[in-house]
Chains A and B, each alone.
Chain A
Amino acid sequence: MNLKMNLPALVVVFPFFSAMMMVAIGIFNRKVVPYIFQITATITAYFAFSLLIEVYTNGPIRYYFGNWIPPVGIEYYVDYLNILFVTIIASIFFVMSFYFPLSVRKEIPESKSYIFYSVTTLFASGLLGITITGDMFNIYVFTEISSITAYALIAIGGNRRSYRSSFNYLILGTIGASFIVLGIGYLYMATGTLNLLDMQERLQHVYNSKITISAAAIIIVGLSLKMALFPLHSWLPGAYAHSPSTISAFMSATSTKVMAYLLIRFVYTIFTPNFATKIIPITDIVMYISLIAIIAGSFLALGQKDLKYMFAYSSVGQIGYIVFGAMLINANGLIGSIYHFLSHAIVKGGLFLVAGIIFYNFTNTKIEITNGLFKKMPFTSIGFLIFALSMIGIPATSGFISKWYLVMGAIETGNWIGVTVILLSSLLTAIYFWRVVDRIFFKAPDDDVKFNEPISMILPTYILAGCSIYFGLFPHQLVNYAQKAVLLLMETIK
């Protein structure tokens, strides 16, 4: 069928064009735009799921754009790894799309709202593009699309602090992107191709070349900056804390993780672990940095007075988990990393949704206002509790499964420092979340005002909470998928 054949392109191109449409229609009629937005999210998710089924029944797909055969044309390469990520991003986008209208009405000026929807869709299509493409330059292009839209989305909050955060991110993000494009340029110099699989093939012969080595270093620094790996994280807290609730939720769930995906792609598919073991130990270096990131992120989160800041710093630590698992070069570690990608996308996204509901009622998210929140907003509080437990990694939540695999991977490679760090940071996570849980459930509220918990905001939050529990209880299928992906990635090790 024609639709089926073109799924890899549709997943990206459909939201892309839909975003353009929204502007065009929005000029004449602003009221329809939210509906178009929701329909777009639904259809994109549908495409992603069909693609998932397609890939798992028939194996990886190589899709040639306009039927131009690579290395001349652009290739979309969908294997077991990135289809998972594509599906996660599209589903999160779909679930959160229900949350948007109320929150947007509250936080975004009416006159800008249609632009906001359009740019958000564009942002999502950029992220989807990064994950799905099999062409190096295309990766850069989509990175820029998602970055530039992100700067705009953060700044749309409209107060002075969100401008500053946006500008901060703009500078650092641009530096990161320049590094990436520079590295890609070097790789092109070394190999003369931009196609991923082609490059993997050709790169083997030039591992020793100085160009390749410096390309590896430059790309990893660039990616670290974009994914806010400690100590290059300074743009992230402000960007998450001062952007609109919906954006901080969607960005925290997806954007830095897509960069972590790219890291996995570069290390496993392009350079292959052989390069790391034979030439320079980049994976070891990044692994130790990620351990520092885990601890530092947790400690920084400990001292925050604002919920959004706390979640943001916790993200800095959590990205460390994903990177750590990937850099172990061990099957279980990588499964843990992929699983944590999913788990953290769900949980952190959900936590920011919770923060959004609190913001909707209080117009701020300071921790001190959560005293006795359970009495005022019971549903929100219970949602928060579920996410907090998952962050800590309590069994029967998705966080437990990913930590289980990460610890397994660390033990298998004899990395006891890693084991200690992961568990220690779980405890720190427990401390900084328990601080809030304690306030919400056990402190007396300051006043008796009842608050509104709109169903359109509670529902997406609970869907995510349900997912977190579901993937904690029944991880079997997903772990099988992840295993398939990992086998394919590990094939290059000989």
Chain B
Amino acid sequence: MTETVYSLLPIYAVLIPLILPIPIYLFRNYPNGREFFSIAGSLATFITVFLIYTKVKTGISLEYTLFEFLPGLSLKFKVDAFGTYFALMASFLWFLTTFYSIGYMRGNKEKNQTRFFLFFSLSMFAAISAAFSGNLLTIYVFYEIITFSTYPLVAHKQTKEAIQGARRYLSYLLLTSVLLFLPALVYTYYAAGTLDFTLGGIFASKENVNKSVLGLMLLFFVFGSAKAAVMPFHLWLPSAMVAPTPVSALLHAVAVVKTGVFVIIRVFVYIYGLDFLKTISTSNLVTIFAAFTIIVASMVALRQDNIKARLAYSTISQLSYIVLSVSLLSITGAIGAIFHIVAHGFAKITLFFWAGAVYVANHKTKVSELNGIAKHMPYSMAAFTVGALSMIGFPPMAGLISKWFIATGAVEGSKPWVIAVLVISALLNAGYFVPIFINAYLKKPEPEHNHSHLHEAPKLMLVPMLITATLTIFIFFYPEFFLKLAKLALGIGG
């Protein structure tokens, strides 16, 4: 088994984004200084996380207990391979997004930029802390902090629509986490006496556990972690799209929603344990709910004209891939779930970057307005192409690999019908992305408009977009880097 070492490194990694708001606030009247700190802070965080990675990949996990509330109930960090995996992706994408945000906020002349960067940093603090959490209580705490610290970001524009969207966002996430997740958490503590993440689960060694209640609690966990947007608790995601695009990109394609699925995987693999779950029938229900969400969300996406809404429904569908994959209860399925976090993360952030670029450069928000735009922004559209193809599962993009694992996992978990879901969903994905290709590449722009003002996105936005697009391809050819961590996280190989 993995060795556990006490280390302050995780503390440093979360302290940086936690205290970063202070210089950001102090330099509120000097945008360049403020942005310098944003960039330096996100880079420092990434480097710290990378240092952690160099330790964790040798098979040790870093632990640091902040303090113990009560026996068996503590706030603590325990950084294992899975946590590192998630933190690595989140902090790297944060670094890229910082550049992009600067380009976006300045290009768009948004107000309250200081507040924006301040809460952005706080949200990242919470997301990385959630990744490093060593038990269910800690992760719950940071899950809630994410909700609260992203609220001002979603409401950023402070228009009536933005405030309504943000309220819906807040109420959905709070309602589910408090009414479903919290009781499940307390019950778990009551039944197992501990909440620590343990590979293979904490119930396996316990006798006399009430399996029917635990089955119900499993559903509570899945729906309580509404950031994963499994239907019917998905509506907050489209309404949160009122946020500025960098927020949607990082938080709603990566940090927030991925924390949701991260929690679900933690619960499946480290609280219940995959083997123990085979004796609990409700895990099949989770598979069915996830499959339903994949199909239905894709169908809804077909009908969205607003680019960001279409992407939002695509996210809902893709997140359920992860939930579905882990609910197959096979090791391969779990690898697929973990891998898809990264594969989808890189592809989806590219797509959101693209949507923001289109908006800032040309003020277009609808699919039907994109006619002939590829001629004016060729690089952005290239990035989009990579992202969209990865979503559909086309080689040579990262999305294919996770689908491969999910399909294999479905056979191993003896649920071959899942493959049919994958195929249908791939077709539907193509169905909602292809019209964008057609509009952008093939259709002629409407003649009555003057098109001289159409141009490519600013460089600060373009470069991050191209980097994530390149990485999406790169991951296809060199998946080992992530696969190794995923396997380590599941206790095989390493």
Q: Which A residues are within 8 Å of any B CB, using their own CB?
A: 394-396, 401, 404, 407-408, 411-412, 419-420, 423-424, 426-427, 430-431, 434, 442, 473-476, 479
Contacts and interface: CB of A to CB of B under 8 A. Distances in A.
B182 A423 contact: yes
B183 interface: yes
B186 A427 contact: no
Interface of B: 67-70, 75, 137, 140-141, 144, 152, 155, 158, 163, 170-171, 174-175, 178-179, 182-183, 186-187, 189-190
Contacts of A474: 67, 69
A424 B141 CA distance: 18
Nearest to B187: A411
Contacts of A419: 183, 186
Given A401-B69, A423-B178, A411 B152 contact: no
Contacts of A476: 68-70
26 contacts: A394-B144, A395-B140, A396-B141, A404-B186, A407-B182, A407-B183, A407-B186, A408-B186, A411-B186, A419-B183, A419-B186, A420-B183, A423-B182, A424-B179, A426-B178, A427-B174, A427-B175, A427-B178, A430-B178, A431-B171, A442-B158, A442-B163, A474-B67, A474-B69, A475-B70, A476-B68
Contacts of B67: 473-474
A408 B182 CA distance: 11
Given A411-B190, A442-B158, A479-B70, 12 more contacts: A395-B137, A401-B69, A407-B186, A411-B187, A420-B179, A423-B178, A424-B179, A430-B178, A442-B155, A473-B69, A474-B67, A474-B69
A378 B271 CA distance: 42
B301 to A, nearest CB: 30
Contacts of A394: 144
Nearest to A434: B170
- The SS class assigned to the A binding surface is helix
A476 B141 CA distance: 18
Nearest to A389: B148
A431 B163 CA distance: 15
B127 to A, nearest CB: 17
Nearest to A474: B67
Q: Sort A-B residue pairs by CB-CB distance and give the 9 closest, nearest first.
A: A395-B141, A407-B186, A423-B179, A411-B190, A419-B183, A423-B178, A427-B178, A426-B178, A411-B187
Contacts of A412: 190
Contact of A411 (B170, B175, B183): B183
Contacts of B68: 476
A275 to B, nearest CB: 28
Contacts of B75: 396
A442 B152 contact: yes
A374 to B, nearest CB: 12
B166 to A, nearest CB: 9
Contacts of A411: 183, 186-187, 190
Contacts of B174: 427, 430
Contacts of B178: 423, 426-427, 430
A431 B69 CA distance: 27
B137 A423 contact: no
A423 B183 contact: yes
A430 B190 CA distance: 26
Contacts of B183: 407, 411, 419-420, 423
B424 to A, nearest CB: 37
Contacts of B163: 442
A408 B189 contact: yes
Contacts of A420: 179, 183
Contacts of A401: 69
Contacts of B144: 394-395
A476 B73 CA distance: 10
A401 B75 CA distance: 13
Best-buried of A408, A423, A434 by chain B (most CB within 10 Å): A423
A434 to B, nearest CB: 7
- Between B163, B171, B178, the greatest number of chain A beta carbons within 10 A of the residue's beta carbon is seen for B178
A421 to B, nearest CB: 11
A221 B155 CA distance: 48
A402 B187 CA distance: 16
A405 B116 CA distance: 37
B76 to A, nearest CB: 13
A397 to B, nearest CB: 11
A407 B70 CA distance: 16
A479 B141 CA distance: 21
B187 to A, nearest CB: 6
A434 B190 CA distance: 31
Nearest to A472: B69
A412 B186 CA distance: 10
A18 B365 CA distance: 73
A475 B182 contact: no
B213 to A, nearest CB: 9
Nearest to A395: B141
Nearest to A430: B174
A408 B190 contact: yes
Contacts of B187: 411
Contacts of A442: 152, 155, 158, 163
Contacts of B155: 442
B300 to A, nearest CB: 28
B329 to A, nearest CB: 27
A396 B142 CA distance: 11
A407 B179 CA distance: 12
Contacts of A475: 69-70
B167 to A, nearest CB: 8
| Residue of A401, A404, A412, A420 most packed against chain B (CB within 10 A) | A404
A411 B190 CA distance: 8
A427 B180 CA distance: 12
B125 to A, nearest CB: 14
A420 B170 CA distance: 20
A91 B227 CA distance: 42
A408 B190 CA distance: 7
A404 B69 CA distance: 11
A139 B67 CA distance: 41
A401 B141 CA distance: 13
Contacts of B170: 434
A423 to B, nearest CB: 5
Contacts of A434: 170
Contacts of A404: 186
Contacts of B190: 408, 411-412
B244 to A, nearest CB: 16
Nearest to B148: A394
Nearest to A419: B183
B195 to A, nearest CB: 12
Between B70, B75, B163, B186, the greatest number of chain A beta carbons within 10 A of the residue's beta carbon is seen for: B186
A398 to B, nearest CB: 11
Contacts of A395: 137, 140-141, 144
A431 B186 CA distance: 23
B414 to A, nearest CB: 34
Nearest to B158: A442
A308 B316 CA distance: 43
B192 to A, nearest CB: 13
A461 to B, nearest CB: 22
Nearest to A426: B178
A479 B72 CA distance: 14
A473 B66 CA distance: 10
Contacts of B182: 407, 423
Contacts of A396: 75, 141
From B69, B158, B187, name the one whose CB has the most chain A CB atoms within 10 angstroms.
B69
Contacts of A407: 182-183, 186
A451 B92 CA distance: 44
Nearest to A332: B190
B181 to A, nearest CB: 10
A298 to B, nearest CB: 13
Contacts of B175: 427
A83 B94 CA distance: 52
A420 B220 CA distance: 13
